[in-house]
Amino acid sequence: MDWRECAITLSQNLRVTILIAVFLAPQLAFADILWQDCVTTWKYTANSAYLSNLIQLSATLTEKASTSPTLFAMDSAGTVPDTVYALALCRGDTNASACGDCVANAFQDAQQVCMSSMDVTIFYDPCYLRFSNQNFLDSSLNNKQHIVPNGENVTSPAAAFDAAVGVLLNAIVDYAVLNSSSRFGTGEVNFDKSNPNIYALAQCTPDMSPDVCRACLDQIVKVMPKHFSGRQGGRILGLRCNYRFELYPPFSGSPLVHLPAAPGSAVTPPPVDKEGTKNKAITIPVIALVTISSALTFTLVCLCVWIRRKPQGFVLYSSNKENNESIDLFMLDFSKLQVATENFAQRNKLGEGGFGAVYKGSLPDGQQIAVKRLSQGSNQGMEELKNELVLVAKLQHRNLVRLIGVCLEEQEKLVVYEYMPNKSLDKILFDREKSKDLDWGNRFKIINGIVRGLQYVHEDSQLKIIHRDLKASNILLDLHLNPKISDFGLARPFVGEQSKDVTNRVVGTFGYMAPEYFIHGHYSIKSDVFSFGIMVLEIVTGRRNCSSYNSQQSFHFLTIIWKHWTQGTILEIVDPFLRGFPEDQVLTCVHVGLLCIQENPSDRPTMSQVNAILSTNTSSLQNPSKPAFCSRATNTDSDPHQEVRSATCKPAVVSQNEMSITELEAR
């Protein structure tokens, strides 16, 4: 070893020694911490693999955040169960050096204020950090929120001041969403002599889409009057978005949005800078008004502008009592959707079902969309549509299809989603030619993505959702074959600790329905687990479990799989188009699929348990019991691939209207 290699080795060892010393040091300063959240459920020990992974991640994440153009980083280190997941974001006006120092200090301070905790969130003024042994990176929920009011009251009329803050925050939200790649905006508004200027900033994590960022910020901005009415300042901290307003600039540099508004004048909203530059300020012209009372006029006008700037919404009510509430949805003009779809041209049609057709479109900014157009003049499917809109508007996850907006004009009822260029899983999996391109790596990625999406709606979202119609045609695939769960028209939310329910209206698709649901109307998260298990077995074998439960064909699918599993020959019925697949991984997936379709719901795993299983192996798994709806093998099972791949599964016709919104084909 020459002197250069020796120096490098000493440097690396010294760095590790310093990091270990930092994490185990008895006393550290953390006077600048705004707020911290310490989850005490899980603890690590001094010599644990988790601590080793945390030390490694403290170096890599700090470097990634400080060198990123958006001062944002997400990463993980280690393997389950000692994996550390982390997210760091620096304020958009922070320089790279200060960002790196802040994130490094956050790792250091976190384990002093939250001794040995595996799940810590810590906020500073220039940055914040969360690390955890639970994978929270796929979720866009703005949890870990903390409200920080300024204790001083304003000397101006509170209503006028609140209205001015509202206008400013909405203008900054527009800037952060539409004009900034870093999802960061700052601004000021001229107010009155006693409080000449109000300053504010708003920020989302840069990985969020404009729509998701806006929804996140709108959610915390709309509660501003409740928490900060008449206060000189305030801030809401959150893991995915945050804002702050003060009577002094809480940011460095010139404001990006400037709203001059003398008493008796109104503020118009900032224009959309479609080219958008990070440091370009926006100046808003002053519109003179006839003054009756300066403060009163300013208040009324500001309130009107604030209301006008918020996305138009409409009230939806679902017959499902848990869902009976109003929501705001982004409204789109019918004329714009006509242009986007070339007047709903036949060549743009993606599919058609019982309630109407789905068309591909392109918005003026180039964004591709899928437009679901319900049949004109028909109320069929409206209840399912309302239910889907109410639920999907509240769910944000990378493995769930994203709702863009809605259009209700005269007889037209249209819903706009993100466009998925690879359509639905069944279009590829059950097509003899296309399935040849679906290698095992992509199939395993699809399985894992479905698991993450289901775990989110079952366990991690603000609502516990039972989908009730999981199937291959409701799994949409993006350009890179990442899966997104779609069609929540039949979904049902559970409230509080509720874990199951009974319905006298059984709806869904034969071949995917759990036995307790199909026979007795009992549904729970374990009903979705059953449907997931069927899909896993379909993905592995390339064969469709379809038709009615009264037909020999559906029994035949599960019977063949069970026979080969018990005989130890399960690899013989893996899709013949797969080549060179990892046998252990395939066996794990089949094992998971069989565990998920056991007859007793309590024997089926949860999706978080499935997530853990797929990260390890089957050595410690229990043996599955015989699948539900499994019959004795028939003479046809000598050729397990004789079924036609293009066979179709029919929706259940036991609902009152014998319809399901799930008939709409891939978007």
Give the Å distances, CA to CA, from 627 to 17, 510, 584.
54, 16, 22
* Residue 372 marked in a binding site: yes
Distance between CA 407 and CA 467 in Å, rounded? Answer: 24
Phi (first) and psi of residue 570, to 5 degrees: -60, -30
Q: What Rg, from alpha-carbon coordinates, does the chain have?
A: 28
Alpha-carbon torsion, ordered 65, 67, 69, 73, to 10 deg: -20
- Give the SS3 label for residue 457: helix
**Do 32 and 124 form a contact (C-beta atoms < 8 A)?**
yes
Cα 87–Cα 91–Cα 96 angle in degrees, nearest 5:
85
Amino acid code (one letter) for 28: L
Among candidate residues 211, 469, 528, 575, the one labeled active-site is: 469
**Paired residues of 203 in beta bridges:** 184, 242
446 sits in which H/E element: helix 440-455
Of 296, 305, 304, nearest in space to 159 by CA = 296
Distance between CA 416 and CA 337 in Å, rounded? Answer: 9
Distance between CA 218 and CA 212 in Å, rounded? Answer: 10
> Is 162 noted as a catalytic residue in this protein?
no
Of 408, 381, 406, 218, nearest in space to 329 by CA = 406
Q: Which two tokens stand for residue 169?
A: 């925050």
Distance between CA 362 and CA 369 in Å, rounded? Answer: 6
**Do 280 and 297 form a contact (C-beta atoms < 8 A)?**
no
**Do 322 and 503 form a contact (C-beta atoms < 8 A)?**
no
Of 392, 440, 385, nearest in space to 413 by CA = 385
Reduced 3-state DSSP string for 95-132: CHHHHHHHHHHHHHHHHHHCCCEEEEEEECCCEEEEEE
Distance between CA 354 and CA 660 in Å, rounded? Answer: 7
Distance between CA 556 and CA 579 in Å, rounded? Answer: 25
**Paired residues of 120 in beta bridges:** 38, 131
Q: Which two tokens stand for residue 562?
A: 């069970």
Q: Which two tokens stand for residue 586?
A: 């395939």
Q: Supply the DSSP symbol for 596.
A: H
- Cis check for the bond before 81: say yes or no (omega within 30 of 0): yes
Gap between the terminal Cα atoms of the chain = 60
Distance between CA 329 and CA 489 in Å, rounded? Answer: 16
Q: Supply the DSSP symbol for 291.
A: -
**Do 212 and 178 form a contact (C-beta atoms < 8 A)?**
no
Give the Å distances, CA to CA, from 307 to 257, 311, 332.
19, 9, 17
Question: Considering Cα of 444, then 449, then 450, then 456, what sign does the dihedral take?
Answer: positive
Distance between CA 637 and CA 643 in Å, rounded? Answer: 10
Q: Which two tokens stand for residue 314?
A: 């409409």
Cα 18–Cα 19–Cα 24 angle in degrees, nearest 5:
95
For residue 367, the Cα-to-chain-centroid distance in whole angstroms is 19
Which segments are annotated as binding site? 372
Residues noted as catalytic? 469
Which segments are annotated as binding site for ATP? 372
